[in-house]
Amino acid sequence: MKTSFARNVIEDFAEGGRMVEQTLAGFWRELKELGTNPVQTRQGIVAAVSVTLSTTLALALQLDAPWWVAISGFMSLMSTGAASLRRGLLRLTGTIAGAVLGFIMARWLPYDHLALCLFLALTTAFGVIAMQVSPHGLAWLFMSITSSLVLLSNLNDPTQAFQLAVYRVIDVAVGVGSAIVVANVLQDWHADPPPTAPGWRHLLGAQWPAVLHGVRSAIAVVAVLEIWVMIDLPDVTEMAVTIAVVMAAPLIADGGVGTRHQVAQKSLHRFIGCLFGGVVALACLALQVESFIWWLAMIAAVVWVGMHIQVGRHGVGYVGTQFAFVFVITMIQGLSPPASIMPGIDRFVGITGGLGILMLVSLLLWPSAEELKEELKP
């Protein structure tokens, strides 16, 4: 037993080392190819313009979370105008539903910790399962994310839930609208059929791995929430978003070891992307750029690099996504270029701390090869 455990630990560390090496190699290859592929370059320009527009609008409208607007302007983009429209509308629909749900639940859940944990577990499981089986899975996932966002952001003052719910919808609407306009001006329409999904009919049969994935995700959400609160890390809202998105890793047929590997890989890619994005953002903040134009130009340039990596061909697209994601939320802190590096450090520490906890919890909750064989026995 001890020999088998030690061997499994060694194999896990070796596999982790290989994943880190492959990720860094792929990231470096993408950087060396910057500007060489017209398709990647064009997509990067679209992303840079979208984020620039959404950020400018958020500041002009004096929205309270311009970083969330900018992220919506980035994350709603796809390779064609039609796909960006569909993705943006799914994101907005899910956000509206989640804002309503979060507002309703904020009337009593902040006063009952057990009920709060149960609600977060149920909505996370539902959102993650829906992401795997529903053609509108993105909307369900963002319903889960937004309801958690509204709830966790109002634990100290639940009376602000309505205002926050309204602002989250406006933030996403501005970001999604910017992405749709830019995508349809700078990209081809090219309306492809929406992606197929297996549907909800066989959750206790063929889709049972998706259910297991959702249940384990829910356990991880509650575990990380408790650890996060216990050690008093900053910004519990970022923790909730991080958990929900990372745990939406796609399933493969066996639903066990492959899923565990994918969750580990996706968690690692997000961690490395966040680490690189945060370091670059802190370096930019240390320059103390006060010019609005130059500040916006730095954001656009790094977003262009992030999108280039996201749509690249070296298997590290998620690193590029998170590289741009964390750079944006670290650089955009208020209604003007940040005057201090400290808020950026606080955000960066909060997110990377949550990701580190999440990675450990995720790996502990996914089955080994031996456990998978037992699950699949008739």
Mean pLDDT computed over 242-258: 49
| CA distances (Å), origin 140, targets 54, 147, 322, 365 | 24, 11, 21, 23
Nearest to 69 by CA among 350, 349, 328, 261: 328
**According to the model, what pLDDT value does residue 372 have?**
45
Of 236 and 258, which is predicted with more confidence?
Answer: 236
Q: What is the pLDDT of residues 230-245, one digit of tens each?
A: 776 555 555 655 555 5
Distance set, CA 1 to CA 15, 195, 366 (Å): 21, 45, 19
How far is residue 18's CA from residue 261's CA, in Å, rounded to a whole number? 12
Helical spans, DSSP H, in the chain? 2-32, 38-60, 66-75, 81-105, 113-133, 137-153, 161-186, 208-230, 236-246, 257-286, 292-310, 317-331, 342-365, 369-376
Ordered by start, the domain boundaries in the chain are 19-189+208-376
Q: Which of 332, 301, 307 is nearest to 66 (CA)?
A: 332
Global pTM reads 0.81
- pLDDT at res. 245: 53
**Mean pLDDT, range 350-357, rounded to an integer:** 68
Residue with the bigger pLDDT between 346 and 78: it is 78
pLDDT greater than 90 at residue 217 = no
Hey, which of 46-60, 137-151, 260-274 has the most confident mean pLDDT?
46-60
